Amino acid sequence: MFVKKQEEVLAEEVKDEGAKNVLIQWLIPPDKAKTFAMRRFIIKEGGHTPLHRHDWEHEIFVLAGEGALVDKEGNEHPLKPGCFAYVEPNEIHQFKNVGKEDFIFLCMIPI
């Protein structure tokens, strides 16, 4: 087992096409886990992840700030602290910050 603090983990800029003002921390990366990995995202003001899809699911839990989960029709589902969401494999989606503060959430993915 191991216990760590979020501030011990490097926050790296997400450089994927379509990402803006997004940092990622790999809290429990694939090489430390068995079935799924835990990441912490920090989306700064005006930022967003790419509008994209992939063949794995997301499970997310919001820690801070005000955000939205955008679906394939462009609808924005509000995300606040204490909200959680599931995105199915191959669903088009995007996370965006719609507030002034950092929008921070955990996002787990299968390995």
Q: Using CB under 8 A as the criterion, which residues of the chain lie in contact with a second copy when the complex forms?
A: 1-7, 27-28, 32-36, 38, 57, 59, 61, 63, 69, 71, 77-80, 82-89, 91, 93, 106, 108, 110
Q: How many residues are recorded in the chain?
A: 111
Shortest Cβ 86–a second copy spacing (Å): 5
Q: Of the two residues 32 and 100, which places its CB atom closer to a second copy in the complex?
A: 32
Q: Tell me the sheet residues that pair with 108.
A: 38, 59
Q: Of the two residues 15 and 52, which places its CB atom closer to a second copy in the complex?
A: 52
Closest to 98 measured CA to CA, from 28, 43, 38: 43
Tokens 């199915």 correspond to what residue?
Answer: 88
Q: Of the two residues 9 and 15, which places its CB atom closer to a second copy in the complex?
A: 9
Cβ neighbours of residue 50 closer than 8 Å, sequence gap 6 or more: 16, 17, 18, 19, 94
Shortest Cβ 22–a second copy spacing (Å): 19
